[in-house]
Amino acid sequence: MGDGALVEMTPSAIRADLEDGTQAAAKRSKLPPLGEDELAHLHDIFCSNARFSAVDIGDEVVLSFDGSGNADVGSRVEEMTVYQNHHGADLTELWNIDYSYKAIKTILSYESNLMKSCQLNLVAPCQYGAMPDLGRYSQPDGPVPNWSELMPLGKIAEARAAQEEAAEHATRDMLFVTDAMAEAGADGMDFDTAGAAGDGDFLATLRAVEEIRRRYPDMSIEVGMASEFVLGMHGELEYDGKRLAGMWPHDQAKVVAAAGATIFGPAVNVNTRRSVAWNVARAITIVKKCCDESTIPVHMNVGMGVGGVPMTPYPPIDAVSRVSRSLVDLTRMDGL
């Protein structure tokens, strides 16, 4: 199940969930549902009693381990080495437990020195990651009036102005951190859960990406999303002439690529009360067009509670491996 619980299902019940999942996604996103061959392949994967499932030899993809480590093994540099040497990470990510660029700015000297140590100890690429986290710029935590308090009062123009101002602060902080990480030798930057606070959050990220690409032409930039479509907290913000509110992954990928990113990470939320089969069929339906059309690599977010992976701290490997294989087999995405 989407909450990680083990359930016994008949083949016909699994088939019904796959069909319902893809139809639910198609109805919501206006994208085509999965075809008969695709549903049959998923049915085979989910009807197997095997404890583990995997892609065919030769079909392996790149795994970018966003947020490598759990702060449970010695130093964070050691954790990166553990992920490189023991977990087969193709790409590691240095991060801080306060996973927000606004917070990182205040401890940047420590973080950039750690990045230097990582670069001296790792062969696998190592990027730095955190959230754009626009909400942190609103009062009482930040300098800008709180748009979530202004909107219920009917002060829509003021709420919009507050988000625009917050976006400028967020972009500036992302650039400030990036400059230091670039000097410390980072292979790339990850802007994780972009759009978590809505379209203003996403716009701040896109503007940061655009400037980073101008300053560092060869730097890797990964933009991972917070959810399947961009919330219209502002509603009128645009990038490259396209309205950000309500964007689905295939359009998100286009603006992310236009801004200059090199890796796009779509996110589809999990319904914990539905089966993993239902959630996977739904997730694939939503991201398939994005994988088909994207001009840059697509690395699906498949952490706990996204992309079909159960929402639990200890995801069962039978579920995770089926999600992993299903996404790669059906979408031919570039990584996870």
Partner 1 sequence: MGVGDPVGMANAHALASGLGGMRAAGDLVARMQMTRGMRLEQAKQYVAGKLGVNAIDLSDPLVMHDVRAELGLGRIPVQELTYPDQPGALEAKFHIAEVLDIPVNSVERFSERVGWGAQRPRTSRVAH
The residues in 86-105 that bind partner 1, with binding defined as CB under 8 A, are 87-91
CA 252/CA 262 separation, integer angstroms: 13
> Rounded to 5 degrees, what are φ and ψ at 195?
85, 5
Amino acid at residue number 250: H
Confirm or reject binding of residue 258 to partner 1 (CB under 8 A). no
Confirm or reject binding of residue 85 to partner 1 (CB under 8 A). yes
Q: In whole angstroms, how close is the CB of 321 to partner 1 at the nearest point? A: 4
Is residue 66 a contact partner of residue 129, using CB atoms and an 8 Å limit? yes
Question: Which one of residues 133, 187, 201, 228 is an interface residue with partner 1 (CB under 8 A)?
Answer: 187
Question: Which one of residues 144, 174, 186, 247 is an interface residue with partner 1 (CB under 8 A)?
Answer: 186
Confirm or reject binding of residue 316 to partner 1 (CB under 8 A). yes
- For partner 1, which is the closer residue by CB, 126 or 166? 126
Confirm or reject binding of residue 64 to partner 1 (CB under 8 A). yes
Is residue 302 a contact partner of residue 327, using CB atoms and an 8 Å limit? yes
Question: Which one of residues 6, 7, 57, 97 is an interface residue with partner 1 (CB under 8 A)?
Answer: 57
CA 42/CA 267 separation, integer angstroms: 20
3-state secondary structure of 124: coil
Q: Taking contact as CB under 8 A, which single stretch among the options 31-39, 203-211, 244-252, 307-315 is the one that binds partner 1?
A: 307-315
Is residue 260 a contact partner of residue 217, using CB atoms and an 8 Å limit? no
**How do beta strands 238-239 and 242-243 pair?**
antiparallel
Confirm or reject binding of residue 55 to partner 1 (CB under 8 A). yes
Number of residues lying near partner 1 (CB under 8 A): 76
Q: Taking contact as CB under 8 A, which single stretch among the options 9-17, 104-112, 131-139, 299-307 is the one that binds partner 1?
A: 299-307
CA 252/CA 194 separation, integer angstroms: 11
Question: Which one of residues 3, 16, 20, 119 is an interface residue with partner 1 (CB under 8 A)?
Answer: 119
Confirm or reject binding of residue 58 to partner 1 (CB under 8 A). yes
Indicate the angle between helix axes 108-121 and 156-183, nearest 10 degrees.
Answer: 40
Confirm or reject binding of residue 296 to partner 1 (CB under 8 A). yes
Q: Taking contact as CB under 8 A, which single stretch among the options 35-43, 48-56, 143-151, 241-249 is the one that binds partner 1?
A: 48-56
CA distances from 214 to 132, 158, 204, 325 (A): 19, 32, 16, 37
Query: Nearest to residue 196, comparing CAs of 205, 208, 209, 187?
Result: 205
Residue 201 corresponds to which tokens in the numbers above? 């959050």
Q: Taking contact as CB under 8 A, which single stretch among the options 18-26, 113-121, 139-147, 274-282 is the one that binds partner 1?
A: 113-121
User: What residues between 191 and 230 interact with partner 1 by CB under 8 A?
Assistant: 218-220, 222
Residue 7 corresponds to which tokens in the numbers above? 């359930």
Confirm or reject binding of residue 299 to partner 1 (CB under 8 A). yes
